[in-house]
Amino acid sequence: MKPKLLSSLGSQHARRVRVLAHELNLDIDIEEVMYGPQGFGGEQRDQFLALNPNGKVPVLRHGDMVLWESNAIMWYLAELHGDNPLWPSDRRERAQIAMWQVWQAAHVTPAADGLFYENRVKPMFLKQDPDSSQVEQHTQSFHRWMAVMEHYLENADYLALGRFTCADISISAALMQAESSRMPIGDHPRVQAWLERVQARPSWVETEPPPMPGPG
């Protein structure tokens, strides 16, 4: 039985798994999950919550196993594929990749999501103005974490092992709404150049979601 990914085109978390699947040419089924007033699952919300009590995508089903959290799903699928440059068999190399992915979840995503919520979600869906104090707080946090990447990329084109890996997929997906959310990536030129390299890959182009509508 093939793994089945429950996904949503607009989700950065689901996108990182879909980028990995494209990069490794994985044979998986992808099912789009409806989003309704109560969240993911639509009219089947209760059934979806039975799979993921967090109520979020992605979710992976493989036989009787259910797995959520996008980075964990990436590791599992890459492991199924076997030794590969994105998630190599060498334990020390995997540890370097995982370090950046855990760092992304702990630091980059909260800052990026905060700016996305204030600068896109509130005006677009809630018809509210951004909270300037929250924008300032998230912007300061964003600069702090981008400075870490900026320093590392001084001597490398990619993160972790200096080549494209799962680490680059995870962090770039967290930044997929950077322009529309007014994330100040331009203040970090090496990060901006790195993101442009990732976005030029066929896997990124092929998983591009439809554009989000503007406010109003």
CB 214 within 8 A of CB 124: yes
User: Rounded to an integer, what distance in angstroms lies between the CA atom of residue 168 and that of residue 162?
Assistant: 10
Query: What is the per-residue pLDDT for 211?
Result: 80
Tell me the whole-structure pTM to 2 decimals. Answer: 0.95
Query: What is the per-residue pLDDT for 216?
Result: 44
Q: Which of 27, 53, 81 is the last residue of a domain?
A: 81
Per the structure, the complete domain to which residue 42 belongs is given by: 4-81
150 in a domain, yes or no?
Answer: yes
User: Rounded to an integer, what distance in angstroms lies between the CA atom of residue 157 and that of residue 163?
Assistant: 7
Q: Which of 61, 81, 101 is the last residue of a domain?
A: 81
- DSSP-based helix, strand, coil % in the chain, nearest 5: 55, 10, 35
Record the tokens describing residue 30, joined without a space. Answer: 């992808």
- Per-residue pLDDT tens listing for the chain (216 residues): 899 999 999 999 999 999 999 999 999 999 999 887 778 888 789 999 999 999 999 999 999 999 999 999 999 999 999 999 999 999 999 999 999 999 999 999 999 999 999 999 999 989 999 999 999 999 999 999 999 999 999 999 999 999 999 999 999 999 999 999 999 999 999 999 999 999 999 999 999 998 866 544
77 in a domain, yes or no?
Answer: yes
215 in a domain, yes or no?
Answer: no
In DSSP terms, 94 is beta-bridged to: none
Same domain, 73 and 96: no
Tell me, what CATH number does 128's domain have? 1.20.1050.10
